[in-house]
Amino acid sequence: MQNTAASANLRFLVEVAFASRENFHEIPPALLLVSALLLASPLAAQDANEGPSTLDGSRLSMDALQGKVVLLDFWATWCGPCREALPHIRDIARKFQGEPLVILSVSLDSDEQKWKDFVAKNQMTWPQYRDGGFNGSIAKMFFVSAIPHTFTLDADGVLQDEHIGDASIEGKLKKLIGQLAIRSHNQPPG
């Protein structure tokens, strides 16, 4: 669906809101993530609820992220520490499979074929997106200047954790998913 006016309005609002680093921390992280994903794609040709295509061709959407813990992982094939962190991220993807967790790895690689080959060779089965470098729209929205860099958002879209390097994030993910399970169990049937 073409919606160029809505796309232009969204782009304007996001650019104004994120014009300075000070404003960045006042914006709900879920809005930041979804806005960055939406701005990364050719919006004029997409529904306002859909974001860019991942490597496997699926679309990221606000609906897919709503009510889930989100781990946003910035990395690149040329980054030694990122390659060292890969087994840890892969283990998290396996351990939390079937849980309300979305892992999105955002590559800063400029060489698309090298990135695709690396993802396939290393069995990176969770959603993958290539942003093209530190000047990519998502990396710029999150002020990523070093990698590996992860952001963890709870099910309400609140930033719970941010790490540069291969810091242990598994404990935080277990806690957030556990809190979500308790909250879901305590809600009356709808």
With bands split at pLDDT 50, 70 and 90, how would you rate the model's confidence at 78?
A: very high
**Domains detected in the chain:** 4-186 (3.40.30.10)
Residues in the chain: 190
* Global confidence as pTM: 0.70
Q: Is the peptide bond before 29 cis (omega within 30 degrees of 0)?
A: no
Q: Kindly write down the DSSP assignment for every residue of 57-86, as one continuous string.
A: SPEEEHHHHTTSEEEEEEE-TT-HHHHHHH
**Of 98, 116, 101, which is closest to residue 150 (Cα–Cα)?**
101
Query: Residue 31, class by beta-carbon neighbours within 10 Å (0-12 exposed, 13-18 middle, 19+ buried)?
Result: middle
pLDDT number for residue 5: 44
pLDDT digits (tens, 9 = 90+) for 84-124: 999 999 999 999 999 999 999 999 999 999 999 999 999 99
Instruction: Tell me which range, 91-105, 129-143, 148-162, is most confidently predicted by mean pLDDT.
Output: 91-105
pLDDT number for residue 103: 92
CB neighbours of residue 58 within 10 Å: 10
pLDDT digits (tens, 9 = 90+) for 22-59: 555 555 555 555 555 554 444 333 444 444 557 776 66
The span from the CA of 151 to the CA of 161, in Å, is: 6
Q: Are 106 and 70 in contact (CB under 8 A)?
A: no
